[in-house]
Amino acid sequence: MSIVFDSEQYPFIDIREQSLYENNRIYVYRILKDNILKLKLEPGEKISEVKIKNVFKVSRSPIREAIVRLADESLIDVFPQKGTYVSLLDQKIIENSLFMRLAIEKEIMKTVCSKGFNTNELINNLENIFSEQEKISNNDMKQEEIKLFFNLNEQFHRIIYKYVDKEIIFEKTRTFDNHYSRFHLLESLAKTNVDFAIEQHRKTINAIKNKNYKMICKVEENLLDNYRVKLKTVYNLYPNYFKYKI
């Protein structure tokens, strides 16, 4: 049975249709997570179970189960006697997630750059995504275009994992990547990472074409270095979104 919404309770939340095979618990979890990752629910924002209950028109049980799952993923903090809040961006979690991503993607690229591994279709798909990103970056990017650019960035990386039959790993690492995903979106909104992302993707495509594993490793390492450089800039723009002062 599909949920009926009261959008006036949380007018800024993006609500998407409930899948036919999606129960209320999974659906509430998916919508809340999506809105946290998209910053519709902001870091540090208090979550009202009563308002969410009124939005989704469900009992508290699926809401509480969704909150427990989001807390396990470090997206929500529950403080007894105080309340439930969207988690602040944790710089330590971001650093660790990037370290893990770097290690995994180096191994994936070792396969992609190996002799005899056919990358024609992969390169074609990556170039199509890259072309769309270039078009967007050449415009005066508004918020919706920035979010589209961000989504294309995710597609770019996902397709590489998928091409080597490692899409499950992509999904698992993105769960641990939740804090970096929000930081990356803030970067995009602040327009501090667009040129960097374009250059990274250009180098990635060229490295895959030339089967240049050393080049791709350097490109991957740039991601962590770039985060450390941009952290201060993003922090100064959104200091209340971070767990630790810089």
Asked if 143 and 50 sit in the same domain, the reply is no
Q: Of 9, 12, 15, 47, which Cα lies nearest the Cα of 31?
A: 15
Asked if 139 and 167 sit in the same domain, the reply is yes
pLDDT number for residue 6:
42
pLDDT number for residue 184:
87
Q: Report the predicted TM-score, pTM, of the whole model to 2 decimal places.
A: 0.84
Q: How far apart are CA 131 and CA 202, in angstroms?
A: 10
Asked if 116 and 198 sit in the same domain, the reply is yes
Phi-psi domain of 60 (left: phi exceeds 0; alpha: psi -120 through 50; beta: other): alpha
Asked if 217 and 129 sit in the same domain, the reply is yes
Residue 18 lies in a domain: no
Asked if 56 and 76 sit in the same domain, the reply is yes
pLDDT number for residue 15:
67
Q: How far apart are the first and last CA of the chain?
A: 48
pLDDT number for residue 20:
67
Domain housing 211:
91-241
CATH number at residue 63: 1.10.10.10
Q: Which residues of the chain fall short of a pLDDT of 50?
A: 1-12
pLDDT number for residue 81:
85
Give 133-186 pLDDT, tens digit per residue: 999 888 777 778 888 888 899 999 999 999 999 999 998 888 888 999 999 888
Asked if 34 and 138 sit in the same domain, the reply is no
Asked if 113 and 215 sit in the same domain, the reply is yes
Asked if 123 and 210 sit in the same domain, the reply is yes
Angle, helices 143-163/120-137, rounded to nearest 10 degrees? 170
